Structure 1
């Protein structure tokens, strides 16, 4: 029995322990910067002021963290616009009212829907909690007010008496009364305020006085007053007990949309439709203050009365009441996806009403975004080079897709143009309006013909052969034959397709072979049901009707093989149909708003869908699984996410992203933000989408399932003199290493004295004397502390404070901002390393030219005595300088810098990723004998000939200079590296993660360019790395910051220019290369030089050079290169380039083909010792010259040199 009890106690203990682990290990959710996608109608502060709630036309509510503006939770479930949303007084619940005629109750701690209240016959316009939280109130455009029981959802009372829409409702503090404001009476301009008895539902009194609709009402905290705001541009203050009008507040110049009392009841806040906010004294009506918000549909006051939140459109603004200044603005960063397609070269194109975006052919990144005028319809030519838009006026506009420039305007309509389409060959265009269907010549913009018998159209399309046009009717309630087929050449109507009932045809398409037509409709006028229909194009016969969507059809398309149809609907789903059988194959669920556009990938393996939820989703056609979600952010940024938690994103988008963890056991803070950087190293997969789509040979990163996380501790900092105190609170995830950063550089890796003991403490207090780091301090410094969880992998949000050492001055020079020191006291210290080995010829030249440019520009800015540029280069045939020992020695010497100084480290040469997916990046110094990853297996090799990013981090963190820059221009060679063109791949994912870690721990600006191998690194017509070329071009003037007549090298502008230029340079010579760049958040850029015309003249930039490829040589009678003459000519060419470096007149590479290259081929005959070589030089397929060279077998090197010399004469720059 005792044993049994012991066993039961053990089982109970184990169960409780397991339950606690499950409870406190929460699943993180990646939050991408998609705010509201449509207008915001409601805003509310939580009672503790920690959160702000917003409700929108986009059908959602969103919970935001006040102060940071971080999105915490999106509540989805309403079918239509959310018009009103409020917190319960205890902050535990949220109530929302919607145009779907329902109220919904949500739990704040979990984000879950508790219940739905149904009973209204119209839109729910306003909702409110009773003070005790047991009852809820709703007003509707069905002219009624309803009272509900929170716990059961039961309807307790209906208040009837308003003659029109009820706009606003509120409880009295004692819960005896409710107040309502209405449009009363229909057809009249009189609006009323009504006071009702909660218990009986009877009308107590009607408050008249407004001369227009009453839009908002509120009751004072003491229950004495009612305030009402109206379209008559006034507020009125009423006495509750008597109904007497006490005061009319005048001064607004537009409709008053929102009114509310401060928590102490001493002030009233009003907001009008002209975005003017006014604060009034109660009960005198005295105007206290006014400010303009440029946000004017909804507002709420923070519990402490210090802040006001307002909304207009899909944006939120936070205002400081005392100053009237906005201190935070949360705008919409994304746009709905109205249209998507693929160009003939495989580029994905997505568009909204005012812009379109191109994604690279391998889907590795968003290439560019182009803005156009607002359009109702958009079409792309098959090659993706031209865009045709239908404007909201009476014109069509043709745009250059690459530049966004308007090419021409098509005129010929007198009304709204609804739809456009390109012919398959791009020469013609179709456009449809309410009454005219036209065919246009794209090259001239002239109208070719108008199709007679046409009534109206929304969608139009060309057949695959371009001979036929298809049009579908839109909003023709009496038209039972809305689908029409036309002959393009004659303009004659060929046939109509009968079968769609009353309603809109929103989308149509031809099958790839042109035999079949598919159409998608709202079907049934006045209903939301939609159908997809398949027609025989030759006979007009209806073959199948595909039913199953619960809303109208917005987009239909055939698969490339014609076997399937996919449809996208307002019910937020896609459906895949079998063309032959008409059966539904599968449904794709995942979008949070209507699906507006669908498309198949060119191989048919994937389906792409664009939605009003501002996302593009990619689905596996065969399995129906969601592969990834694409989001375009602002004008140039982007995000890719997967259901497993992996993500890829541009740096600009990553700055807006974060994770959220829900801890339902924490009533005060149930939603906890985890900064992106805290989980980034685990779930960041650079080049994610190409891997998922099979366009990359990199393997997908293997990470733990995206489930629970044990949270890191919370941190509080305080400073007394030089003593820093760090207080940590265990949030059930343990207390791991505590790192301290000064001015962005890590100075203490772990502040804990006893890690084993401290990891499980509930509270831990640590101290640090900052005087130990006196050599790092400027006049004003930033101290940052970050802590890991007990498992040592999840970081806390960084906590910072400013620190000014006692007595620290700058020679009496007062603060002037970021750079308070006089310019003459600032020094630039640069270490520039270039290693030309293992097949690299130009790495040392790149380093020398960067060093020269920095020396010249910095000297002009700081003076010659304040600039130190150390060059460590290894060039062919010269003693090595860039040994690891010398590089380390130079980095250690840089520890002499001061906080006000600038430090630059430039590395060019070979780099290797070693150690797997979480491995490190190693720069190979002089003496390395292989560029293969296996070479680094030997620890002694790594110790002697390679410098890892971890080692770099350690050395760089010891450098006191606050302004720091790392440029890494390397060849990421490896075993089996493909001989691609100019870096025909991007920086490997493992290298990006290593650079990320380095940047985060050192506070450096980091710019890195990486080519696939030695060939691609130097396969440039410029005779130098593309990154070096772009940087030098920037120094010469293309990336300078102008200030009056002077020009300065601003770091962010300079590096940003290189990031933009390198892909363009690579593309121009047949390749792909995208540099890695990370700036420093919350730090202003700085200058590293000043450039004059004299300096520009001394900065050397290589001009484009011809490329010569040695193709083949053979002996004429033996059909073989018996003398190995090809290799000897190539050797002579390589020696020429190695010897003369950037001065070499011609370049070569191992690639078999290169755009615009010259090729050299030859045949030779042997007669004893004598040799005669006949050679031809081609450019592409055109012969540019031929020659004959003679020599002897005993002097083959000389013969090869003669062949090369003669070939050079035919090769022109």
Structure 2
């Protein structure tokens, strides 16, 4: 959540662009967050996780800035240096690493002999740093040379569940080591002599598992000692005496910390955080997060107003200290994605093993014609998408839980899938219809393949069995019970007489060859020491290529069972290994995120491909072997030109519905929600994707870039744009006006060197028409002006936000402020304008269902809306009534009387036209769809309509467009479609309204007689009648519920009726609100 302050005169300097712009995906942590630290200036937050990573976040925006990757186990603790330039991390792999915060670069590593390092601390004076772990030692290291300076005994028991902790006082004078047995030792750093030992207890004479956390007061005069199952107390470092007891016994202790002003202390337990008056010792507030997960650590922001809590649910929660209310969280799409019914908790002891194995079932399939990609785990669907545009070509709906494994038939006409629901499904790959369903297992299926003649199916499951079924009728032909545990990988031999199995049970042979009829192991392959993650047979069937979590890739002689090649350059697990067509090269990738190309003849690495920010799980080569495609755990698919070795294209998927394609220069296309999960980072400065929407949202250009493998088109990328044209900076403040019911909104605009061309103000997400008389924009680097606008308040929360463009059309980051109004206001009215045109002046343009669609929409909103709104005012323009002048006049008429707390709904059914990247609504008198001069006279351009919508004051607006285009070749329509989608998105962004539109370009021009409507409006009406009412099922249909319903239902219905899924355009700007009361 963004936090806003009533501040104007803050010094802001635009940082120079000195390094490559990074594209950062708002992923969040994939496993439990164990630690949280706040930078000295409180602008940034660092988090450490069980997923082996540390992350940096921008506190004001909640954006993920970067990941610090390189550890091989949990990041147990971390700390910023005093100047905020460096971060130190303590890891379960036995290392401590120091990172440069601005770049994410690993600066140094120390590896003591500890089993694992549990805590680290910087000396505030920059002379040393401290590490401690379960090696029974705390160590001081010279910060410059990284040489060991001193070591101390530090008692800790790894099985206690607690950690050994260290802290250096703000003055640098003291070192405290919190140990087991409720003991804390304090040392003077000047001579490393022990000054105090605090281990008195009124509850225990000795205590294993009574680990202690330590923290100093800001003045370095006192020490906080918090021991699990014992007291939480404050000690005077001058006398060594206890001066205050906060709590006599703390159960399930996780952390204890003072605020930086020394006024508050937060005691974090497994389920709650208690905030104390640090001076008096009084308990002030208890925060009990409404989550099922355990808490791990708490930390105050620099001003002491917010508390951040690291949690086992993979999220950092933010609370207001004064009110105890949650005000935000640090999270990403990984924390919100649909897991397809696979609810195994990786943080649970009982689920952790199967969750780990399922996590890496993340394969990507390239169609035999190299035109589409396919993957499971889109909820319980599989999705096939176009390789050039990134748009979905087909969805496969049939599994009750996520599909984990899949294979095409050789001709690409059939698709075989195995799911987490234990089902095997054979599909018509082109149409998405199921040909055969086999409910064979109760547990997830790990692997599935056709036999060589594609008459049989081999599959293996978590339940420790392997089965062979007929691909014709689904009958089970063979059943194997595997003593060696579940087969993570299974594969037929070339002659189908044998099967290869890679099993999971530790202490057994990992790789076996079995005879099908007797089910006996006839050969084992000795060498791999961990999970085997991939199997591939050579073309002649004489060699087997394997990749393993033990970090190696091996080639085996099947006849002898002996290793022919062993490739060992990877750091950590290898998840994928494939041959090229001639089998002269091997490509491999895994946990270290580096793709390696090997020469088979001499086992040497000949090329590397670097760019992934998560573990790489899948590799594919196109049929012409000119392009390598790689896929990683974070949903990123990268495309590499093999001739140059460069990445030239990227697809990013965020779950079932949301995706983005982009190139390294920053040109992009994708869904609206996907843009919220991606941003650009320059050092520590973040930029939202939408700041570059006008010039860089280029679906047309991306198609050309893909076709030329990223060849130079002469366009300036985002890096160049920012160097030349930094965006302006905006600050917003608001206060109640002296005039009742109004607010005075102040916007400070700072020119950062590229001028300021346009200022926009939004009220609860809706664009506000600005008074031009007071709009004086700055003109010159460093100059600033303040603009004042009086705005009518609505009852409740009023959010005012603003953005400004520079002269190269790059937007500022939005800045916002909230103002609460207690006025009850008048009763709101819902205004509906429905336009439907069947009869056009040109008889060739006549439509069948536009007018009935508009009439039906008007009827359902009128009927259902009267139950929600006190007043409904309906206006209609049908056929010849819907002229250009009549539509524009009606919008002006409504603008004169609609107030901010009213609702405005505009429905249009008729022709639409896309010409020269401009969208036109086609009134009844229009004669031509694609003649620019005629359109400018007779039609209504989208930019004019959006200005009309801006002038309508209603903060809640919905625009519904069922506009079709007719005629033209498929290629022309495809080009129009890309431009049309951007134009409709721009309409939503510019007017800041909700827009739901059928995809024009003939996608929905087919009108289905059996429905009695155009498909889009048919489903729209069903949704408004109640089918769109989602969770919570409260009888109301809201904007976002309706949007989600259309996004789900339109592709499914078009797949059934037209053989191909097609997608509506749904863009949302502004706040959610109920549209009607459903059934």
The 1-side partners of 2:573 and 2:193 are apart by 43
SS at match of 2:997: strand
Gap change, CA 1:594 and 1:1048, over 3 Å in 2: closer
Match of 1:714 in 2: 730
Q: What's the CA shift string for 1:1013-1068, capped at 9, x where partnerless?
A: 49954587657532233224434554468999x96664444444333322222212
Match of 1:1060 among 1048, 1061, 1066: 1048
Q: 1:128 to 1:570 in 2, by over 3 A?
A: same
| Residue from 844, 851, 861 that aligns with 2:855 | 851
| Residue of structure 2 in register with 1:1125 after alignment | none
Aligned residue number for residue 549 of structure 1: 570
Instruction: Pick the aligned partner of 1:759 from 779, 790, 803.
Output: 779
Q: Distance in 2 between matches of 1:788 and 1:302?
A: 32
Say if 2:515 is the partner of 1:487: yes
Match of 2:320 in 1: 320
1:470 maps to which of 496, 500, 504: 500
Written as runs of structure 1 = structure 2, the 5 A alignment for 1:503-652 is 504-511=531-538, 514-521=541-548, 529-535=551-557, 537=558, 543-559=564-580, 564-577=585-598, 584-600=605-621, 606-613=627-634, 615-633=636-654, 636-652=657-673
Deviations 1:865-924 (A, max 9, x none): 943322242xxxxxx444433333333333233114433333334433333xxx322233
| Deviating more after overlay: 905-914 vs 104-113 | 104-113
The residue aligned with 1:275 is 271
Bigger relative CO (Cα 8 Å, ≥ 6 apart)? 2
Report what 2:349 is aligned to.
none
User: 1:170 offset after TM fit, Å?
Assistant: 1.1
* Contact 1:338–1:612 under 8 Å retained in 2: no
Structure 1 counterpart SS, 2:719 = coil
State the partner residue of 1:1005. 994
Q: 1:868 aligns with which of 871, 874, 883?
A: 874
Change (3 A) 1:503 1:618: same
Give, in whole Å, the separation in 2 of the partners of 1:881 and 1:447: 69
1:221-259: CA deviation from partner (whole Å, max 9, x where unpaired): 343433333343543544434545566665767431211
Cα deviation for residue 69 of structure 1 reads 1.8
Identify the residue that residue 811 of structure 1 maps to in structure 2.
none
- TM-aligned CA distance change 1:913 to 1:28, over 3 Å: farther
Tell me by how many angstroms 1:601 deviates: 5.1
Residue 470 of structure 1 and its aligned partner are, at CA, apart by: 0.7
Contact 2:833–2:907 (CA under 8 A) maintained in structure 1: no
Superposed, which structure 2 residues align to 1:673-712 within 5 Å? 673-686=686-699, 704-709=717-722, 710-712=726-728
Are 2:775 and 1:748 aligned?
no
When structure 1 is superposed on structure 2, of 844-853 and 831-840 the one drifting more is 831-840
Q: Contact 2:998/2:1004 (CA < 8 Å) preserved in 1?
A: no
Residue 491 of structure 2 is matched in structure 1 by 461
Q: Does 1:290 align with 2:317?
A: no
What is the deviation of 1:300? Answer: 0.8
After TM superposition, list the pairs within 5 Å mapping 1:27-66 onto structure 2: 28-66=21-59
1:1076 aligns with 2:1074: no
In structure 2, the CA distance between the partners of 1:733 and 1:344, relative to structure 1 (3 Å rule), is closer
Alpha carbons of structure 1 residues 835 and 107: separation in structure 2 relative to 1, 3 Å: farther
Q: Name 2:913's counterpart in structure 1.
A: 912
TM normalised by structure 1 equals: 0.73
Residue deviations 1:415-451 (CA, integer Å, cap 9, x gap): x999543444485434377987665679779683337
In 2, the alpha carbon distance for the partners of 1:290 and 1:865 equals 45
Question: Could you tell me how far apart the structure 1 residues matched to 2:1010 and 2:402 are?
Answer: 42
Taking a change above 3 Å as real, the CA distance of residues 116 and 458 of structure 1, as seen in their structure-2 partners, is same
1:726–1:966 CA distance, 2 compared to 1 (3 A): same
User: Aligned to 1:994, which of 975, 983, 986?
Assistant: 983
1:1058/1:594 CA distance change after superposition, 3 Å: closer
Structure 1 pair 687–155 and aligned structure 2 pair: CA distance change class (3 A):
farther
Query: Using the alignment, how far apart are the partners of 2:530 and 2:870 within structure 1?
Result: 78
CA separation in 2, counterparts of 1:947 and 1:304?
Answer: 53
| Greater displacement, 709-718 / 465-474 | 465-474
CA contact (8 A) 1:439 1:448 kept: yes
Alignment CA distance shift 1:220-1:766 (3 Å): closer
| Larger Rg over CA atoms | 1
**1:135 corresponds to:** 128
Corresponding position of 1:261? 258
State the SS of the aligned residue for 2:999: strand
1047-1056 vs 365-374, which deviates more?
A: 365-374
Q: Offset at 1:469? A: 0.8
Q: For residues 114 and 587 of structure 1, do their structure 2 counterparts lie closer, same or farther at Cα, with a shift above 3 Å needed?
A: closer
Compared CA separation, residues 157 and 641, structure 1 to 2 (3 A): farther
Structure 2 partner of 1:338: 361
Q: Give the match for residue 410 of structure 1.
A: 441
Counterpart secondary structure, 1:388: strand
Write out aligned runs for 1:16-31 (5 A).
23=16, 28-31=21-24
Aligned pair 1:226/2:248, yes or no? no
Pairing 1:359–2:387 present: no
How far 1:67 moved relative to its partner?
Answer: 4.3
Quickly say closer, same or farther: Cα 1:788–1:857, change in 2 above 3 A.
Answer: closer
Secondary structure of the residue aligned to 2:690 is helix
Query: 1:1149-1203 deviations in whole A, cap 9, x for unaligned?
Result: xxxxxxxxxxxxxxxxxxxxxxxxxxxxxxxxxxxxxxxxxxxxxxxxxxxxxxx
Q: Distance in 2 between matches of 1:71 and 1:737?
A: 28
Q: Distance in 2 between matches of 1:120 and 1:509?
A: 39
Q: Per-residue CA shift, 1:358-380, capped at 9, x if unaligned?
A: 23355414976989899997556
Conserved in 1, the CA contact under 8 Å of 2:363 and 2:618? Answer: yes
Count of matched residue positions in the alignment of Structure 1 and Structure 2: 1002
Residue 178 of structure 2 aligns to a residue whose secondary structure is strand
Segments of structure 1 that go 5 or more residues without pairing to the other structure are 1-19, 184-189, 523-527, 663-670, 805-813, 874-879, 1093-1213
> Secondary structure at the residue paired with 1:1028?
helix
Taking a change above 3 Å as real, the CA distance of residues 177 and 763 of structure 1, as seen in their structure-2 partners, is: same
Looking at structure 1, the residues matched to 418 and 1041 of structure 2 have their Cα atoms a distance apart, in angstroms, of 34
In structure 1, what is the Cα distance between the partners aligned to 2:551 and 2:459?
29
| Separation (CA, whole Å) in 2 of partners of 1:960 and 1:452 | 69
Query: How far apart are residue 310 of structure 1 and its match?
Result: 0.8
Answering whether residue 900 of structure 2 is matched by residue 894 of structure 1, we say: no
Partners of 1:38 and 1:58 within 8 A in 2: yes
Contact 1:686 1:992 in 2 (8 A): no
In 1: Cα distance, 2:39 partner to 2:284 partner: 25
Paired residue secondary structure (2:16): helix
> What is the CA distance between 1:178 and its match in structure 2?
1.0
